[in-house]
Each structure stands twice: as structure tokens, then as C-alpha cells.
Amino acid sequence: MPFTLPSRFKAFQYLSQGIGDRGIVGYNLKGPATHRMKKTDTKRQVTEAIAACQDKKAEEITILELEKNSGAFTDYFVVCSGTNPRQIQAIADEVELRLKQDGLYPAHIEGYRQAEWVLLDYVDFVVHVFAEKARRYYELERLWKSAKRLEPADLKTPTRRAAQKRPPTAAPKRKRA
């Protein structure tokens, strides 16, 4: 069975028509899906997508931060693998569900039915869920080798509470002899 390559051009065709392979293209609460978010919002949403992948037991989760001057069309790639078509679809469904709860809808979804390579395009970041064979074939990490590899902990932004000064803790009491 040959792999189908989700192309950016094809994605733009779908966007201009307002349809994807799972129906009408959604909007986020802030406007059309092409609206760019603040960097902290993007990091938080990428972290949420990663958590969804981990909950569905995705393997080999990689985060790539793409450079501005590299001609990249997005800020982040989240790349992971599933072991079978049902798991690949479950990972994609969980990412979509978690981000919908946050008010963010994908601009485009491609490859869901074939479940070899599912692409969830959120404009500021793209989630790629691969079958193991397709991931080895396309090697996105090699194609985007200039991108910075990140760990999930690198994306976590300090919360307001953590950013505030904490009162100094009392020194431990010494035992008297």
C-alpha cells in the first residue's frame, strides 16, 4: 500500500474550499483558524497536545522548534508514532478533543482514514502521527534537521503563582545537645 503525502499545497486547497477529510474546517474562538496566537499560548497548547499523545501511549514523541528564517510555515512540529491504525486514530482524536476543549480547532486534518500519517494543522504548530513504517520512510526529523529538538519540559511556561516571589522558608531547627 503506497503512502499518501499530506502536502502543504493540498492543505491550502482544502482551506480555500473550507473542507477537510473530516468535514468543515473549524474556527478557534479568537477568529479564523489562520489567526496566529501568542507564543505562550502556543507553548501551552503544544504541551497539551503532547500530553494527549502520551495518554494514548504514542511512541517516540519528538518536538521540533522550527527556525523563523528556515522557510517554515509553522513554529512547532510534534511528531509521534502509533503501532497500528486504530491507535494512530485514537492519538489524533485525543489531540483534537483536548485542544477543542481549549477552544482551538484544527485548520486542517489529513490522512485520518488511511491512518499511516495523520496531520493535524493548528497553524502555529502541526501534529504528525505516524505509523512506524511511514515515519522511517519520510524521516521528518532528518528533513528538518536544522530545527531545535525540545523536551516537553522545555515548553512549560512558569505560572503566575510560580513567578511570584515566595516567602523565605524558615531555617530548620537544630537539635540541642
Cβ burial, residue 172 (10 Å; 0-12/13-18/19+): exposed
**Cα torsion at 149, 55, 74, 135 (round to 10°)?**
70
Total domains in the chain come to: 1
Q: Which domain holds residue 13?
A: 8-156
Whether the per-residue pLDDT at 33 is higher than 80: the answer is no
pLDDT at 30: 40
**What is this structure's pTM?**
0.68
Question: CATH number, domain at 116?
Answer: 3.30.460.10
* Bridge partners for 118 per DSSP: 129
Residue 85 pLDDT exceeds 60: yes
127 pairs with which residues across the strands? Answer: 78, 120
Note the pLDDT of residue 152: 77
1 in a structural domain: no
**Residue 110 pLDDT greater than 50, yes or no:** yes
Grouping H, G, I as helix, E, B as strand and the rest as coil, residue 77 is: strand
Confidence of residue 137 (pLDDT cuts 50, 70, 90): very high
Residue 170 lies in a domain: no
Position 172 in a domain: no
pLDDT at 56 over 60: yes
pLDDT band at 17 (very low <50, low <70, confident <90, very high): very low
Higher pLDDT, 13 or 85: 85
Query: DSSP per residue over 120-131, as a string?
Result: EE-SSEEEEEEE
Q: Which residue has the higher pLDDT, 41 or 172?
A: 41
How far are the Cα atoms of 8, 10, 106, 116, 127 from residue 15, in angstroms, in the given order?
A: 10, 9, 11, 22, 17
Residue 19 lies in a domain: yes
Residue 25 has pLDDT above 60, yes or no: no
How many CB atoms sit inside 10 A of residue 131's CB? 21
Question: Does the residue 164 lie in any domain?
Answer: no
What percentage of the chain carries pLDDT values higher than 70? 64
34 and 123 Cβ atoms separated by less than 8 Å: yes
